[in-house]
Amino acid sequence: MSYQSIFKPGLFADQVIVVTGGGSGIGRCTAHELASLGASVVLVGRRAEALEKTADEIASDGGQASWHVCDIRDAEAVADLVGRVIEEHDHIDGLFNNAGGQFPAPLEEISPNGFDAVVRTNLTGGFLMMREVYRQSMQGRGGAIVNMLADHWNGMPGMAHSGAARAGMANLTRSAALEWARSGVRVNAVAPGWVASSGLDKYEGAARAMIPMLANAVPLKRLGTESEISAAVVFLLSPAAAFISGELMRIDGAASLGGRLWPLAEHDRSEPYNGFHRAVDPDALKD
């Protein structure tokens, strides 16, 4: 089987697109879809084993992918990484700033080091990737950037460090869209809600116990799929979004809308889209 994308074959032929956090979850899925559409995908992450596995999957499916280990929180490492990618591919057409991570904790129990670690991963690292890709390639030839957010608009109780970082990335996205428009660079962001991704399996204790109940808080009465997030990213990277920049796209089944008093009717009318032929349901949803 191959990826069942809704986009036309060859959409990203001859394009080079960098995907951070490309070894698992949404990043892995999006890398597969981009490669299936003709892109030369560059996977970036901190674990060589996961990156190599994803690259091998893409190659066995007939796509092109390379990989680089990099701590995106390290400015020198990011500059070196982008330089090596340009040496190998000549230019960079797209960046999916997907890498991130957080841990559940009450605000009063988050240490300064823990707060800083989450902000550097979810905000500073994304900034460094954007800056170097722009400086070393996109400033002279244009391109498209898609950043990763989360549903932070109403606060993120239990993950306030992540909410602060995501809110910062939202503002950074819009600032970059304004500043870099002169270079033909579009900058947008996606904000997934609850998604049936491998990331759910990283949570433990009370946070994990809540996962099977999440669908009840979504008006569409289900979790999203990795493919549904990937499709939005691919659209924003594509020529079809040529007049879209500075947009923050919520992909959450309407979970971020309305108030707690609005009743959510029980139904099964929302059919998920899952084009990813290698998708696996997280164990957290099987508990």
Residue closest to 39 by CA, chosen among 78, 82, 80, 95? 95
Residue 121 tokens, joined: 């991963």
The reply to whether 28 falls in a domain is yes
Is 30 domain-assigned?
Answer: yes
Q: Is the pLDDT of residue 248 over 80?
A: yes
Domain count, the chain: 1
Does the residue 11 lie in any domain?
no
pLDDT of residue 205: 75
Whole-number Å distance between alpha carbons of 247 and 245: 5
- Give pLDDT, residue 280: 84
Residue 260 domain-assigned (yes or no) = yes
Phi, psi of 147 (to 5 degrees): -100, 155
Which is more confidently placed, 13 or 262?
13
| Mean pLDDT, rounded, of the chain | 93
Instruction: Give the domain CATH number at 267.
Output: 3.40.50.720
More confident: 123 or 270: 123
Predicted confidence band at 155 (pLDDT cuts at 50, 70, 90)?
confident
Q: What is the mean pLDDT of residues 152-158?
A: 86
Q: What is the pLDDT of residue 260?
A: 66
Instruction: Tell me the percentage of the chain whose pLDDT exceeds 90.
Output: 75
- The tokens for 196 are 């049936």
Residue 1 within any structural domain of the chain: no
| Phi and psi based region of residue 247 (left: phi greater than 0; alpha: psi -120 to 50; beta: remaining) | beta
- Among the listed ranges 38-42, 61-65, 271-275, which one has the minimum average pLDDT value? 271-275
Residue 8 forms part of a structural domain: no
Residue 4 lies in a domain: no
Sheet containing strand 185-192, strands side by side: 64-69, 40-45, 16-20, 94-97, 143-148, 185-192, 248-251
If one compares 202 and 85, the residue with the highest pLDDT of the two is 85
Over residues 225-246, the mean pLDDT reads 97
Three-class SS state of 271: coil
Asked, for residue 7, whether it belongs to a domain, the answer is: no
Whether residue 189 is predicted with pLDDT greater than 70 in this model: the reply is: yes
What pLDDT is stored for residue 157 in this prediction?
Answer: 86
Cβ–Cβ under 8 Å, residues 158 and 207: yes
The domain of 31 spans 16-285
pLDDT value of residue 203: 75
- pTM value? 0.91
pLDDT digits (tens, 9 = 90+) for 24-38: 999 999 999 999 999
Please indicate whether residue 65 or residue 256 has the higher confidence score (pLDDT). 65
